[in-house]
Structure 1
Amino acid sequence: MSQEQTQQLDLPARIVERVEDRLPRTEFDSPEEYVSFVMEEVLYRVEQETEDDDFEEVDEDEVKDRLKSLGYLNDE
């Protein structure tokens, strides 16, 4: 792993255990390297998907009116 600036991030113990269980079946030397790789892959895919999406601008009041008409919001 390169000498990049890092920050600490807490993960649930169950995820850390799963990473540690998988580590022997990977090419990575540490859980940190493995998690960094997985996060890079996931973020790349998510960013690619959102770049390709054509988002339609919607008026917030129209959305609220529609949600009210469907019974999801109450008149306040």
Structure 2
Amino acid sequence: MTDGSDAADSREDTDEDTTNVAIRDSIHERVAARVEGTDFETPAEYVEYTLEEVLSRVEEGSTTTGAAADPLDRENDDEDNEEVESRLESLGYL
């Protein structure tokens, strides 16, 4: 794992407060590999951007549907799967 210097270096020009978050080395290596050839200067910038995107989608979904639209919400996946199976069964596919 890195010492967090990526995050510190990429935040020097901002006035926003920051918090360090630990991730597994294997994830950091994957992120670092993805950063190559992009406009991101550090893995920390990539991770922050990715988290912002995911959170925005989750928050948009929760305001438009009135329910939690968390893509990691396995309960919603199970409900969706049951609904699809029910429709397929009523159409004679199952």
Within 2, Cα distance between the matches of 1:54 and 1:10?
A: 32
- After superposition, residues 56-75 of structure 1 pair within 5 angstroms as none
Matched, 1:16 2:28: yes
- For normalisation by structure 1, the TM-score amounts to 0.64
User: Runs of 5+ in structure 1 lacking a partner?
Assistant: 56-76
- Residue matched to 1:37: 49
Give secondary structure in 2 for the equivalent of 1:17. helix
Q: CA RMSD in A?
A: 1.4
Q: 1:28 aligns with which of 13, 23, 40?
A: 40
User: Runs of 5+ in structure 2 lacking a partner?
Assistant: 1-9, 68-94
- Residue matched to 1:74: none
Give secondary structure in 2 for the equivalent of 1:16. helix
Moved over 2 A (4+): none
Larger radius of gyration: 1
What's the % identity of the aligned pairs?
A: 36
- For normalisation by structure 2, the TM-score amounts to 0.53
Give secondary structure in 2 for the equivalent of 1:6. coil
Task: Answer 1 or 2: higher relative contact order, Cα 8 Å, separation at least 6.
Answer: 2
